[in-house]
Amino acid sequence: MSAARHARFISRTILVQNNDVDKACRILNRILSKEDIFGQYRRTRYYEKPTYVRRRINYEKCKAIYNEDMARKVQFLLRKNRVDPHPGAS
């Protein structure tokens, strides 16, 4: 685990307000899942063969590229997000 990922998690503090521990636990679980702490725990719980590690990493890279391209395409197609939604129309 790299130091940068570890430092992100340590810098978090969850405050329990009005004795609402369930809400604090939900917030903590959201933070842990967003920073992929649960995923990393699941991956390192058992031994993973090097071939499976390579396949998983390649899959994650391809998925990230695909999601980035799709997000860019959606941003382009949504006219309301453009600076001038109807160019040339006066």
50 contact partners, CB below 8 Å, separation of at least 6: none
Long-range contacts, 42-49 (Cβ 8 Å, 24+): none
For residue 1, pLDDT over 70 is answered with: no
pLDDT at 39: 85
In the chain, domain spans: 10-46, 48-81
pLDDT > 80? residue 83: no
- Whole-prediction pTM value? 0.52
